Structure 1
């Protein structure tokens, strides 16, 4: 009985210590490890799903764009968006509109997951440093700081998933005369790794990263700034509370993407 009492006492003391430690972490604003893991998983899954859904939604346009870029100028099959989509539908059916989308999603889903998670963490880190620097605990990120957080996210996401982007590029440009005939993305990755070594997986990494810095940075900066403006100014009665509707968020994302296209891409 004595030993059972001792065990019960030790268990009670251990429980009290754990509760006290959790309370201390809560007061200091530090999340418990289990909550951190759950939060990370949620962020990664949300970013991955968002990337896959968005890529699938525009897959027909993405395929048509590539076909327009590589078609023979002496044998025009695709002449404009509407005609091109109709031609693909008529010759290849519904599945033809989404050909190659699986390979695209295999690259975009992890890229989007890492990108959104990295932006979230970079924003928190930059905000903490900014608040410490200004001495204002209520300070929020400026558009320039959001651009910096977005650029960090773009670099991390591009670096983490660049081998897939490289493999997609080789699959896109390969012909019957290519030295290697890749059957798919994972076959391309394994072949490059075996025949050319690990460094070959990152050929062209630097120009890709340089290009993605303004792209992702401006996207996130424009999107977050537009959201804040809508919530604070409530123009035309579009926003009634502190939460934006799904359609409003989609409109913000579209506007942010259009801002990047108009500002940074050549006409």
Structure 2
């Protein structure tokens, strides 16, 4: 029976509402996942920033001794300094990243085929670039706040930090200092992370279905990864990605903090010059990969919690069809 014009309009309206609902739920799932993961590793994030930029109070410490020194010198709450700005940034960042990944993955599947490994890498990279472009100023603000030591505060909050940077360091573009190395690092980092997660997830489901999967609670009859399996997939994905992109993360931090700390002033003149200066002054291990041990300690649980929470939220919000592919 042919559909009337009125029936077609009703179908279109229902489809549009469903699409809007899906996007909102997807943004919520991604945002919650990002907040949970970043809060989990917030103390490690702060000591990483302090060590990366050679803060004079913490330069001689290691990871755990540095954390203990923060508590001793400042307070336990100081372990989470900058986390407020991080939460303001990470909810839209993670929401955009995960939601756009689903969009790019669907798009790449239609263009390159559902099983394309290159398509998954491109989808992950595109999602990372989209998210970081829209939220980067908040990352700069958060780094400035986290770098401060109690008693030597330059900034007293998110708004004050943003206003000070814009007014004193050259306008809005100052909030994007370090953006180029971030983009250069984001392409391999996000691409490898999403690619590895999707690939390892598929491998676990096909090779060890009894050990790593369970029946979906949905009516589709499909299977999904267990929570421990999701943590393993996320952790391995984060570890692989960090090895490739870490020197650019160090470069970004040096450029972000160049105008705040006189000892970092020489690092604010472009990505290549900053990379070369870090290498010449501090070498590879103590320069380009300084804080890498912390990054492994934080990246593995961070990515594990992020992907696990996102997958669980998808199932809870009925975004998951029950078939992990």
Fold-level similarity (TM above 0.5) = yes
Larger radius of gyration: 1
Q: TM-score range by the shorter chain?
A: 0.7 to 0.9
1:144 aligns with 2:127: no
For 1:153-168, list aligned pairs within 5 A: 153-168=127-142
Residue aligning to 2:157: 184
CA–CA separation in structure 1 for the residues paired with 2:6 and 2:172? 46
Indicate the residue corresponding to 1:244 in structure 2: 225
Contact 2:82 2:145 in 1 (8 A): no
C-alpha distance in 2 between matches for 1:190 and 1:71: 24
2:110 alignment partner in structure 1? 128
Which of residues 218, 224, 227 in structure 1 aligns to 2:192? 218
Which residue does 2:95 correspond to in 1? 113
User: TM-score, with normalisation over the residues of structure 2?
Assistant: 0.62
Contact 2:82 2:143 in 1 (8 A): no
Using the size of structure 1 for normalisation, the TM-score is 0.74
The alignment of Structure 1 onto Structure 2 pairs a total of residues equal to: 235
Cα 1:224–1:76 shift into 2, 3 Å: closer
The residue matched to 1:120 in structure 2 has which SS?
Answer: helix
Preserved contact between residue 223 and residue 252 of structure 1 (Cα < 8 Å): yes
1:262 aligns with 243
SS, match of residue 243 in structure 1: strand
Any unmatched runs of 5+ in structure 1? Answer: 1-14, 132-139
Distance 1:66 1:201 in 2: 17
CA apart distance, 1:92 = 4.3
Q: Deviations over 1:151-207 (max 9, x none)?
A: 1111111111122223334445679xx9x9433222232344456334444343222
Higher relative contact order (CA 8 A, sep 6+): 2
Q: In structure 2, do the counterparts of structure 1 residues 203 and 224 end up closer, same or farther at CA, with 3 Å as the change threshold? A: same
The answer to whether the Cα contact below 8 Å between 1:126 and 1:145 also exists between their aligned partners in 2 is: yes
Q: CA RMSD in A?
A: 3.2
Q: Runs of 5+ in structure 2 lacking a partner?
A: 216-222, 248-288, 290-325
Residue in structure 2 matched with residue 100 of structure 1 by the alignment: 82
